[in-house]
């Protein structure tokens, strides 16, 4: 039979509704020679990609991040677009391309480097008339890989097709810009709720299983915190150290070192805060350089480990060369910090985040969590269980551990997990390991491999620590075939619990039957976590009622009220994907808040939460029903920024005025007060009215009102002028940002099609959502608003609100100009003009000058007088 050409490829099945919708708009999107699609795992991106190649109809180079994903492309092409797998114009060798060439990013980069000149590289593709690049999992394209592709696009390639589940929004802005320069703006997007609605992804839920550090870890953490606390206490009372600080040129000769002082404003702030905490009186001239005057009340922040860390980092590292005359004393300080294990590789770390994180993220307590989850899921699903456990490392050194040694394993990894599960499960024959360099199966499954592939293709070596298991290797050294064989055993149910590495199974590996995924990985990036999670949410044609559970592990630092660094990394991971909330009235959103985990972490809370989690896992039907209910409530996803007030406990009374509608609050309070005060005043002073007349009586009433209500009204008006109506103010800020984005050509959607909605929520929180914009535009908008509302860090430009009343009340509102408007002064001025139009007069300050750094330092040090000291949270919500 004759082979077919690209133009004759024909999809053999029916398009899913959302795929058909994407293809309907193809001709419009391809006008700029870019087609950029965002779609989650399981949405059929590969099939869409092949159809797009067919429609373009030119020689194409398809690039993927791994060989597994590369091979899937050829498999999908032959099985979904040909009747007899007879498309022959393909190649897997980039040096010998065909009509469609499948390769990897690594192979292309190596090929690029093999040319002596770039012109030779470009001419190769021109000679072979390859005019289309298809970039699969395009979020991988950064730096070196990006360079060889972008140069090729600029010199020769006509069309770029980019497919990804997760644009790298959490990367540096320069990397994001590179990504979009190569891939083009996002043309279309398929979202998880749409896919669940169309039954192309299964209902699913993320579950967090908490563990408490083992005694040794608790002792390590507690001892660390106590030693650091004692050090801070001691150093605050150390007269020699205080004297040393006061001799520092920034303090002793402030006026002479202004330029350098403003360059290291963090250090100068830490120095002043430390001395203030040590009960030293700070001379006003030291504060005048920051812009404070003698009449201004200055409230210093309390000293924290972070501030002390900044102080010592500068003294022992940054400023060391300028303090040579104090080298003997600095050596003494350094030894003290090294003894505390808080100074290493020229870095002071009094907070202990990374040190404690390494301890908690690989805590052996997670091994117990995994065995508990596996046992629960075995009860929940029994013969239907298809559980995958993903970890970062193999840990082959533990392969032949005896039973007593297994209990002493202190590291997380594939082999430690395997040992813990095999020694606690009753279903040993259904347990297996699949990694790139280690495959373990139960001996009873050897014969079953013969049903899938020739047994002679494999070698079997009994596992020394448990001879019921064998180490499986392929005689032809093909990892591809052994992965396929184990995958088939898993799909058929001979293997029910499969332990592997995220590098092999986390991206591109396809096993639709997975209904329970345990993420024993400490990776926290947006991209990787979303890819791993995607393994469990695919539909399974053999199990139409599948509900997937994704289990996340966190070891709680009980000495930290927020749960510690491991929990913080987990929370960050949850920002990467949409999911269902645990409310009775379920909502689909991103973020860990939807799970309603404890706000504090003590032993009792951890145990109760885990009990609730295990109970929830039993009722998969309830999870499916919540998805159905939530999907019916919305039409699409929108970006939302939530502005919180409850996490900052300073000035609770002012907060009440700040967040509740201040006008209503003031008027209501005064009316209630007057309704009691005036009648009582008239009754008590009626004789004054009769004896001295109306004028005298009104003067007395005015004086009494002034004495009783005057200060309250004054403070309320001051707060109103200072803070304003916050939800309305955020609405005005949002308008200024949106119009600036439009004027600077960052928007492709017409301005009149985009709406901003700001709402005052319960407990004084404020939400701002953007409707009608595409995902890229929404991301730019939310990021800019978030920067505007976050505590001031080190912006290039500041806006200072100015008017006559503020000057009289000595009020200073500082706002950072968002980064997207800060590249050039002209762009800042465009933003400022929209700010002035919506919010009021302002002064634009460039912070890289002497005066600018002075104001920046004042804004940061004087942060409790700054409106944007609150915390914000970026969300994606189905509405």
pLDDT at 810 over 80: no
Secondary-structure percent of the chain, ordered helix, strand, coil, rounded to 5: 55, 15, 30
Q: What is the CATH number of domain 6-190?
A: 3.40.50.300
Counting residues of the chain whose pLDDT is more than 70, the rounded percentage is 83
Q: Where are the domains of the chain?
A: 6-190, 216-359, 662-712, 725-878
> What would the pLDDT profile of 835-848 be if each residue is shown by its tens digit?
999 988 889 999 88
Q: Which carries the bigger pLDDT value, residue 747 or residue 382? A: 382
The pLDDT value recorded for residue 25 is: 79
How many helices (DSSP H) and strands (DSSP E) are in the chain?
Answer: 36, 27
pLDDT at 692 over 80: no
> What would the pLDDT profile of 377-396 be if each residue is shown by its tens digit?
999 999 999 999 999 889 99
The pLDDT value recorded for residue 420 is: 95
> What would the pLDDT profile of 552-582 be if each residue is shown by its tens digit?
999 998 878 788 888 888 887 787 788 999 9
Interval 475-501 mean pLDDT: 86
Phi first, then psi: what are they for 324, rounded to 5°?
A: -60, -30
> What would the pLDDT profile of 108-156 be if each residue is shown by its tens digit?
999 999 998 999 999 999 999 999 999 998 877 766 688 889 889 988 8
Q: How far apart are CA 273 and CA 306, in angstroms?
A: 11
Counting residues of the chain whose pLDDT is more than 90, the rounded percentage is 43
Do 493 and 481 touch, CB atoms closer than 8 A? no
Highest mean pLDDT among 610-619, 638-647, 722-731: 610-619
Interval 270-286 mean pLDDT: 90
Confidence of residue 352 (pLDDT cuts 50, 70, 90): confident
R_g over Cα of the chain: 32
Q: How far apart are CA 567 and CA 210, in angstroms?
A: 9
> What would the pLDDT profile of 59-71 be if each residue is shown by its tens digit?
999 999 888 889 9
Phi-psi region of 644 (alpha: psi -120 to 50; beta: other; left: phi over 0): beta
Q: Which carries the bigger pLDDT value, residue 783 or residue 604? A: 783
| Alpha carbon 511 to chain centroid, angstroms | 27
* Beta pairing, strands 842-846 & 797-801: antiparallel
Phi-psi region of 510 (alpha: psi -120 to 50; beta: other; left: phi over 0): beta
Which of 179-183, 690-694, 843-847 has the least mean pLDDT? Answer: 690-694
pLDDT at 320 over 70: yes
Interval 79-103 mean pLDDT: 93
Q: How far apart are CA 822 and CA 391, in angstroms?
A: 41
Do 527 and 507 touch, CB atoms closer than 8 A? no
Beta bridge partners of 338: none
Interval 663-667 mean pLDDT: 49
Confidence of residue 683 (pLDDT cuts 50, 70, 90): low
pLDDT at 181 over 70: yes
Phi first, then psi: what are they for 43, rounded to 5°?
A: -95, 0
Confidence of residue 712 (pLDDT cuts 50, 70, 90): low
> What would the pLDDT profile of 397-433 be if each residue is shown by its tens digit?
999 988 888 888 888 999 999 999 999 998 999 999 9
The pLDDT value recorded for residue 675 is: 59
Beta bridge partners of 551: 207, 518
Which of 17-31, 462-476, 663-677, 758-772 has the least mean pLDDT? Answer: 663-677
Characterize 701-731 residue by residue with b for buried, 16 or more Cβ atoms within 10 angstroms of its Cβ, and e for exposed.
Answer: beeebeeebeeeeeebebbbbbbbbbbebbb
The pLDDT value recorded for residue 530 is: 72
Confidence of residue 868 (pLDDT cuts 50, 70, 90): very low
SS3 203: coil
The pLDDT value recorded for residue 801 is: 78
Q: How far apart are CA 370 and CA 364, in angstroms?
A: 10
Q: Which carries the bigger pLDDT value, residue 207 or residue 356? A: 207
Interval 251-267 mean pLDDT: 86
> What would the pLDDT profile of 184-218 be if each residue is shown by its tens digit?
888 888 888 988 988 889 999 999 999 988 888 88
Residue 145: how many other CB atoms lie within 10 Å? 20
pLDDT at 170 over 90: no
Q: How far apart are CA 744 and CA 801, in angstroms?
A: 23
Phi first, then psi: what are they for 386, rounded to 5°?
A: -135, 95
Q: How far apart are CA 203 and CA 105, in angstroms?
A: 33
Mean residue pLDDT across the chain: 83
pLDDT at 443 over 80: yes
The pLDDT value recorded for residue 24 is: 85
Rounded (5°) CA angle 463-469-473: 75
The pLDDT value recorded for residue 673 is: 56
The pLDDT value recorded for residue 209 is: 96
């Amino acid at each position: 039979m004759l082979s077919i050409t690209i133009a004759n490829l024909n999809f053999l099945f029916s398009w899913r509704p959302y795929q058909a919708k994407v293809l309907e708009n193809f001709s419009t999107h391809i006008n700029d020679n870019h087609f950029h699609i965002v779609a989650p795992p399981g949405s059929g991106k590969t099939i869409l990609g092949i159809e797009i190649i067919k429609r373009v109809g030119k020689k194409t180079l398809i690039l993927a991040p791994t060989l597994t994903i590369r091979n899937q492309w050829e498999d999908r092409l032959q099985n979904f677009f040909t009747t007899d797998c007879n498309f022959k114009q393909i190649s897997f060798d980039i040096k010998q391309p065909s009509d469609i060439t499948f390769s990897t990013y690594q192979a292309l980069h190596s090929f690029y480097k093999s040319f002596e000149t770039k012109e030779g590289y470009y001419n190769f593709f021109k000679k072979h008339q390859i005019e289309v690049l298809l970039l699969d999992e395009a979020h991988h394209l950064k730096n070196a890989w990006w360079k060889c592709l972008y140069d090729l696009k600029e010199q020769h390639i006509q069309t770029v097709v980019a497919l990804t589940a997760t644009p790298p929004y959490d990367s540096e802005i320069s990397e994001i810009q590179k990504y979009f320069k190569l891939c083009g703006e996002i043309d279309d997007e398929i979202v998880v709720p749409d896919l669940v609605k169309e039954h192309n992804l299964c209902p699913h839920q993320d579950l967090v299983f908490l563990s408490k550090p083992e005694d040794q870890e608790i002792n390590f953490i507690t001892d660390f915190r106590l030693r650091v606390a004692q050090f801070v206490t001691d150093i605050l009372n150390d007269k020699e150290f205080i004297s040393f600080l006061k001799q520092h040129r920034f303090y002793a000769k402030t006026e002479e070192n202004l330029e350098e002082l403003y360059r290291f404003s963090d250090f100068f702030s830490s120095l002043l805060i430390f001395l203030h905490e040590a009960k030293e009186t700070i001379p006003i001239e030291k504060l005048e350089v920051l812009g404070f005057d003698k009449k201004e009340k200055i409230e210093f922040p309390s000293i924290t480990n972070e501030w002390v860390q900044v102080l010592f980092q500068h003294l022992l590292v940054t400023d060391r060369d300028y303090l040579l005359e104090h080298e003997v004393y600095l050596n003494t300080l350094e030894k003290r910090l090294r003894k505390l294990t808080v100074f290493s590789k020229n870095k002071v770390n009094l907070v202990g985040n990374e040190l404690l994180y390494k301890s908690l993220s690989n805590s052996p307590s997670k091994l117990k969590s995994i065995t508990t989850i596996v046992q629960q899921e075995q009860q929940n699903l029994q013969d239907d269980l298809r559980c995958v456990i993903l970890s970062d490392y193999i840990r082959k050194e533990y392969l032949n551990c005896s039973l007593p040694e297994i209990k002493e394993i202190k590291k997380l990894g594939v082999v430690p997990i395997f040992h813990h599960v095999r020694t606690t499960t009753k279903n040993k024959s259904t347990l297996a390991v699949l990694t790139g360099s280690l495959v373990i199966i139960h001996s009873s499954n050897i014969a079953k491999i013969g049903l899938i592939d020739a047994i002679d293709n494999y070698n079997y070596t009994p596992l020394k620590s448990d001879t019921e298991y064998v180490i499986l290797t392929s005689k032809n050294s093909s990892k591809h075939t052994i992965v396929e064989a184990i995958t088939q055993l898993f799909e058929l149910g001979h293997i029910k619990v499969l332990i592997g590495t995220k590098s092999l199974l986390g991206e591109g590996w396809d096993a639709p039957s997975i209904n329970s995924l345990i993420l024993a990985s400490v990776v926290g990036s947006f991209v990787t976590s979303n890819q791993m999670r995607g393994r469990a949410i695919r539909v399974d044609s053999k199990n139409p009622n599948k509900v997937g559970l994704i289990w996340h592990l966190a070891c709680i630092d009980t000495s930290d009220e927020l749960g510690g660094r491991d929990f913080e990394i987990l929370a960050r991971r949850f920002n990467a994907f949409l999911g269902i909330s645990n409310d009775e009235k379920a909502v689909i959103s991103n973020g860990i808040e939807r799970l309603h985990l404890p706000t504090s972490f003590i032993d009792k809370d951890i145990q109760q939460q885990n009990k609730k989690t295990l109970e929830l896992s039993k009722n998969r039907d309830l999870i499916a029903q919540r998805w159905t209910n939530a999907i019916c409530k919305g039409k699409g996803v929108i970006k939302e920024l939530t502005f919180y007030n409850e996490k900052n406990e300073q000035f609770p009374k002012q907060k009440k005025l700040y967040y509740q509608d201040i006008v209503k609050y003031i008027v209501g309070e005064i009316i209630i007060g007057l309704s009691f005060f005036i009648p009582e005043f008239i009754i008590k002073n009626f004789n004054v009215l009769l004896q001295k007349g109306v004028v005298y009586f009104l003067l007395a009433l005015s004086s009494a009102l002034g004495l009783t209500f005057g200060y309250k009204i004054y403070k309320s008006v001051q707060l109103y002028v200072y803070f304003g109506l916050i939800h309305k103010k955020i609405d005005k800020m949002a308008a200024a940002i949106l119009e600036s984005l439009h004027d600077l050509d960052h928007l492709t959607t017409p301005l009149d099609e985009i709406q901003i909605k700001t709402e005052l929520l319960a407990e004084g929180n404020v939400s701002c959502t953007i409707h009608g914009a595409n995902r890229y535009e929404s991301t730019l908008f939310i990021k800019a608003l978030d920067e505007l509302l976050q505590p001031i860090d080190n912006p290039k430009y500041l806006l200072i609100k100015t008017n006559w009343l503020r000057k009289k009340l000595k009020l200073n509102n500082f706002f950072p100009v968002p980064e997207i408007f800060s590249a050039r002064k002209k762009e800042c001025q465009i933003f400022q003009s929209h700010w002035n139009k919506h919010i009021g007069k302002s002064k634009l300050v460039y912070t890289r000058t002497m005066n600018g750094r002075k104001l920046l330092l004042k804004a940061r040090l004087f942060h409790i007088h700054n409106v944007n000291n609150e915390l914000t949270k970026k969300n994606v919500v189905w509405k």
